[in-house]
Amino acid sequence: MFRSFPAAGLIGFIGLFLSVLLSAASPARAEAAAPESPRPTMRMVFEEMKELIPLSLDAERWSAPDSRSKILASLERLEAAASLLEAHGRSREAGFDELALSLARDLSETRERFRLGRLEEARFFLTGSLQNCVACHVRLPSNRSFPLADQLVEKGEIDALDPRERAWLLVTVRRFDEALGVWEQLLADPERSAASLDASGVLVDYLNVAIRVRGDLARASRVLARFAAREDLPVYLERRVGEWRAAIADLDAESFDASVPASLDVGASLAKEAGEEAVGPYGRDGLIQDLAAASQLVRWLEQDRARMQSVTRNRTESERRNAARAYFWLGVVEARSLDGFWVNLSERHLEAAIRSDPQGPLAEKAYALLEETQVLGYGGSSGVHLPTDVWNLLKELRELMGIED
């Protein structure tokens, strides 16, 4: 989803740990994952993390023999804690499930590579785990905070972080407004060119949180207006920012209120509109519509999942088709404007569209997009040399749809 990729160390540890801790801190989620509350255990791990964070900032201390056993023990505990997210993710919309699985895989890779002495590789996977945390936290409206995280945010080491890294740290601890403030300072910094801010993903990242998480269209519009007044905007960016401002003005601010039910029709319509606008090489002309569509579709799918958990029957044909429609357009949006280099939710959502209604009108279209993504992603192999697990998945989906090889 995001172009920026924070440096290894503090961000990776904090992002990884707080994603687990914040999920476990909710009583409702804890009950779904385990018979007893995991919060006491999480607090103990948190106390250990306060000691381990400085180790992640220093390559020498990270690899020091007297630190190895302590770090490995903490990684093993964190890997075990990830099972809480996996259990919770299975009860939610497919994207949350994928993020939980991805986090668990990253933890397993981190722990195993550290155990084998491949320490820099371990740091790489630890850092990548942040993408799961951030992707999870920006998918739904939220005003939640995590007061315990003050002990981390207020540490002196945070001051040494690059502003973009600091913004993502704030997102992992749900300090969304503070993260927006950091990005706003970046967008106004005359020492950073407008083009570099765009290329590094700051604009997209800012708008994602401002629109999808905070639903603050007025704030986003004001910031874009100030950014548009910069004298160093290249022609393409001046034109695009103008289109984004117009698109924000056309959105219904009330629809971003978490208390207002999401609309599948609105989400699908916005996704189609974004495709019509996306004439640029990176699909970002329709970014505002894509962000608004993703907001509506994820919320609708969460509401749909909650509705179906309250009944004891199979889905009707209409319910199957609606779920497939939501997953399909969410997959399209993510493949176009919100593609993630660490974890690709588009593929999971296209798969979910097929599984929701394998005989429905969108199944073959979703399959074609998914198959193309896999074939091109593995070097244009035309399916001949796809990894076994990918090949088996595609074969399984074709069988569900009744497509013979």
User: For residues 176 and 142, is the Cβ–Cβ distance under 8 A?
Assistant: yes
322 shares its domain with 353: yes
Residue 79 lies in a domain: yes
| 315-355: pLDDT as tens digits | 999 999 999 999 999 999 888 876 554 466 888 889 999 99
Nearest Cα neighbor of 326 from 308, 352, 365, 307 is: 352
Same domain for 207 and 221, yes or no, is yes
Question: Does the pLDDT value for residue 402 go beyond 70?
Answer: yes
Provide the residue type at 391 as one letter.
Answer: W
The answer to whether residue 34 scores a pLDDT higher than 90 is no
One domain, residues 387 and 278? yes
**Domain total in the chain:** 3
Residue 166 within a domain: no
Distance CA 290, CA 172 (A): 23
Per residue in 103-141, pLDDT (tens digit) is: 667 777 777 888 888 887 877 777 666 565 555 555 556
Residue 242 sits in the same domain as residue 260 = no
Tokens 């091109």 map to which residue? 376
> How many angstroms separate the CA atoms of 400 and 182, rounded?
48
Structural domain containing residue 214: 175-250
238 pLDDT above the threshold of 80: yes
What is the token pair recorded at 110?
A: 């981190």
Tokens coding 178:
């503070």
Contact 75, 110 (CB under 8 A): yes
What gap in Å lies between CA 107 and CA 86, rounded to an integer?
Answer: 12
